[in-house]
A and B are shown apart, each in its own frame.
Chain A
């Protein structure tokens, strides 16, 4: 594989950048693989990469219905954080943070990881207490957390509305300084390029039609590009999980919902952090191009549409303007939607299934992007060793029937107040 470096950049400049190697090949599917990963998004590509790198399993195919990175890894708002209260979520996402910090070097692809810090605003004394508790839990798990009062917040984001006569005045906030953003497309491309170089077949425009299960064991899949046998299969298809589960006669504790995001026209640098509104569901950061990147609530009803509806966007942006009044002066550049695999407790599922050789990775709700490396790493471990790693042991499928829910913030299929 050709290394991406300043020397290669200069060298290729002499030939007008016409002779770069392709970043990944376009292979024809083989008759059989050791492992098939269904879904060429961030999590699927990361899984294939870690299978090859950590477990030396390279006879792997990624089967993608569309093109790689065309789903949620290219539709999210690029936020990376580990500001969780529950131990299982804190451990898992802080492990993810460790992988993010070294990702550009490891993948030889600039993912533009920018640890600019995230601030969750608080709008009441009670909310400050809740944040103090969450911050303490984070610090006990070795995650950086700083509780900021109103004056300290004002120094960091003076453009927010600090009036006292508003419905939700700013009391303070909780900051995780090491949180940040990354260039989401680069994450998909970086993992794809490295996985491909280690022998993984990335097969695009290939739809899974049905599964071949014999005597409780997975044997292979039927696809739009022929039958493919495999010893092990991992499902990594986010919002399409329930569609594939139906083909396997499985009913899962998830529903597919629609989530929107949007960016404003680009403006000069003014927001250095990721900021979330504490009295609703709105978050905002500024991209390197200068666009304000914003998102918030689910549209609120089951949907596979990948496009949003105006009332929710209006609701979310109303919250945004309450927090940052200047947003009302900006024109909207783009809005889009993605379909989320919303689990019933708001936490993901990375587990084996009752079918031998079939593994499940789903339930990422609002926050799959930040977990991309840890999800791929632990899913690869689960597939390769046929047992869960301690990092994803709590993300099991039977926690619902057993009553061990991981209800971090009361998020899930239902929007908070509707």
Chain B
């Protein structure tokens, strides 16, 4: 069981959360001409890092807030959790 510290609620069990994927992917700017390549990168391409990985989680069975987690993808150790607008 992973124990994840929701920045709003504190430490809770993994079963309260849903995973949201890589948090470093940036959506292309709105109202701008966007190439197929840019969409491809945003929608499909992922670095899938081994080691420290910054990712979104959703406290879906709790406060329902999204937030960021820095976690090791090899050991599953969680280093830090952040509110979605915060940077590392």
Contact = CB atoms under 8 A, between A and B. Distances in A.
Given A253-B45, A309-B1, A401-B36, A242 B50 contact: yes
Contacts, number: 77
B46 A251 contact: yes
Contacts of B75: 305
Interface of A: 242-243, 246, 251-256, 300-305, 309-311, 344, 400-402, 413-414, 418
Interface of B: 1-2, 13-15, 18-19, 21-22, 36-37, 39-41, 43-50, 53, 55, 60, 71, 73-76
Contacts of A242: 46-50
Chain B interface secondary structure, helix, strand, loop or mixed? mixed
A401 B47 CA distance: 16
A276 to B, nearest CB: 24
A401 B40 contact: yes
Contacts of A310: 1
B46 A301 contact: no
Contacts of B73: 256, 302-305
B2 A400 contact: no
Nearest to A341: B48
A243 B74 CA distance: 12
Nearest to A257: B48
Nearest to B35: A401
Contacts of A246: 47, 49
Contacts of A402: 36
B66 to A, nearest CB: 14
B44 A256 contact: no
21 contacts: A251-B45, A252-B46, A254-B48, A256-B50, A301-B71, A302-B22, A302-B49, A302-B53, A304-B73, A305-B73, A305-B74, A309-B14, A309-B76, A311-B1, A311-B14, A344-B43, A400-B43, A400-B44, A401-B39, A414-B21, A418-B18
